[in-house]
Amino acid sequence: MLRWILGGREAQSSVELQVLKGHFDIVRFLVQIDDFRFASAGDDGLVLVWNIECLLVLERLSVWVSGGEELCIWDQNFQLLCHRQKHSDTGITALIELPKNCIAAAVDKDIVIYRLMVSADSSVTLTDISRCTDHHDQIRALINVNDQIFASGSHAGELILWDSSDFSNLAYEHILWEESQSSCQSEIKLAAPKPSEMSIQHLTTNGRLILAAVGSGLYVYDVVTKAVVAYRKAAHDSNVLHTMLLSDSELLSCSEDGSVRMWEIQDLPLAAEPASAGFFGMWSFGRSSKQPGPQAKKVLEIPNLKTLELIGDLIGHSGAIQMFLSFKEKGLVTCSTDHLLILWKDGERQSRLRSQALFQKLEENGGL
């Protein structure tokens, strides 16, 4: 998966970069539409629909979205069905759909569960049925793990698993890096880290594993065993903004430091070695070599703990990378505060496609 993007050691493989210009401000979100289309939305109020095959801006929408302080329900025709007034000062930070017509909304430190009731006259009502209040800080991320479980992460690094049906707390994991409170974590007392270092920016899951972007680190948690699988505190130079699990062993993260990194969950070697930034023999003038510092010095006592090894990174953006979107072998799109989207493609595949096009054209033209 996406191996090509890192280029094998054999020099033949290559990566192609294409810079997509269209936005005039920070590009925040990417949404995949189908196999080869995606939309990007930015602070400039534009939604652009792109085609990655021939890189065309297919559609240009200008949207204006009201803030997330109220909960509104819209139908397919964009008719407002019902809305609830705001709940707290911070408004709703995350929203997921749960089974049985339920909606979980993260409101400040609480998760509010609503039930959607469609009455006979087809009017929709929302009823507040439950409130989960186990978090001690603002909830930053909320995801469905699978049909039974959903998870939430807070600014203070708390990761809580909830049962989707009775909304009970299944597991509580406080990621304080080396000073984990859970019994299975090794205890390394450090000075209290700044909350921002522990803030869960993003959660992603493949149903079995939860990948949490915690500060500038990554944290992989197994839902089944309810235990941490692997983690790295300093995965990036700055806050991790978006992550993705490519497979059970590979993950991708992007950060404010402008890089996308690819990690592999590997069995712990005898002594964990820090991944070097100069992995590709980069030549550094100084700054960028501040890489994952020495970590995991202590012998970890968890039997199944593995390490996250950096296997490659993508550098191109000059600003924080907000989000990325994988099109599998077709490519990877990243969007950034530098107003650009970059499309990373497999050079080999592209050159093969171009060759095909060339001979096709040659045939059409009947020779040179």
Partner 1 sequence: MTVSASAASHVSLSNNTMIGSPDVVAFTKEDEYGQTVPEPLDLPEEFSIPLHPVADSNPWAKTSYAKFTKDFILISEFSEQVGPQPLLTIPDDPKVCGTFDLNYFSLRIMSVDYQASFVGHPPGSGYPRLSFVEDSRVVLGDSKEGAFAYVHHFTLYDLEARGFVRPFCMAYVAADEKKIMLQFQELSLRFSQASECLKAGNRRAFAKELQRKLQDLEYTHSVLQREEGLQREAGPQCVYSAHTVEKANELANVEKSIYEHRDLLKQISAYHRRPRRDPHAVSCQKCMSECLRECEELLDKYAKLANPLSYRGSGRGLSVDGRGEEGADELDDEVIKRRPSYTPQLIKAKSAKCFDKRLKTLQELCEETFYEATVELLKETERSFRGDLCYLYTRRLDKTLRRKLNIVNFLFEEDLNDNIEDEAETLRPFCAVNHAIDNYMHLNPPHITLGSEDLELDGLNPQGPQDTACETTTTQELGLLGSHLESSPSDQTFETQESSEGTKSFSSDKSLTDHAEKQESLASVNTEGPDPDSDLTPEPDQNTYPERESSSEDMETTAGEDDCDSGQDQTPVSLLEVVSELEARDGDEREAGTRSDLLVPMDSACCMAQDGFLYQATDSDAVLCLSPNSNPNPTQFLVVNQEPHALQPIQDEYTVGSSGSQGPAAGLELPVGPLGDSVSRTSLDDGSDCTMSASTGSDRAASPLGYGASVTLRQRKKAGQGALRFVRQYSFATQALWCLLSGRTLVVLGADEGRVRRLVSALALFVPNPGKTGERVQPWLSCPFTLTDLHRWKLIGLQRVASPAGSSTFYSLSRYSRYISILDADMKTLRCPQYRGQLLATMADHRTYIRHGSTFFLHLQSTLCRLAAQAFLLTFTHHLHLPVSPTEGPEAVEFRRRCFLQEQLGLDEEDSHVLLYLSRLITQRYLQPANISCCAAVPYFSFNYITSILYKI
What residue ranges bind partner 1 (CB under 8 A)?
A: 6-7, 11-21, 54-56, 258, 280-288, 315-318, 338, 340, 342, 345, 347-348, 350-352, 354-359, 361-362, 368
* 69-104 per-residue burial string, b: 16 or more CB within 10 A, e: under 16: eebebeeeeeeeeeebeebeeebbbbebebeeebbb
CA dihedral over 16, 22, 24, 29, signed as positive or negative:
negative
Cβ 125 to partner 1, closest distance in Å? 49
Give the nearer residue to partner 1 in terms of CB position, either 88 or 289.
289
Neighbours of 357 (CB within 10 A): 10
Can you tell me whether residue 347 is helix, strand or coil? helix
Can you tell me whether residue 168 is helix, strand or coil? coil
Helix (H) or strand (E) segment spanning residue 361: helix 347-365
Give the nearer residue to partner 1 in terms of CB position, either 86 or 349.
349
Instruction: Look at the block and give the residue holding tokens 């089974």.
Output: 99
Cβ 241 to partner 1, closest distance in Å? 18
Q: What one-character DSSP code corresponds to residue 276?
A: P
Cβ 43 to partner 1, closest distance in Å? 20
Cβ 348 to partner 1, closest distance in Å? 8
Cβ 365 to partner 1, closest distance in Å? 9
Give the nearer residue to partner 1 in terms of CB position, either 129 or 362.
362
Give the nearer residue to partner 1 in terms of CB position, either 236 or 317.
317
Cβ 357 to partner 1, closest distance in Å? 5
- What does the CA dihedral 266, 303, 160, 32 come to, rounded to 10 degrees? 20
Give the nearer residue to partner 1 in terms of CB position, either 35 or 97.
35
Cβ 362 to partner 1, closest distance in Å? 7
Dist CA 114 CA 131 (whole Å): 9
CB of 48 within 8 A of CB of 59? yes
Give the nearer residue to partner 1 in terms of CB position, either 274 or 316.
316
Give the nearer residue to partner 1 in terms of CB position, either 193 or 316.
316
Give the nearer residue to partner 1 in terms of CB position, either 3 or 174.
3
Cβ 52 to partner 1, closest distance in Å? 11
Dist CA 193 CA 259 (whole Å): 24
Dist CA 238 CA 221 (whole Å): 21
Ordered DSSP codes for 102-165: EEEEEETTEEEEEEEEE-TTS-EEEEEEEEE---SS-EEEEEE-SSSEEEEEETTSEEEEEETT
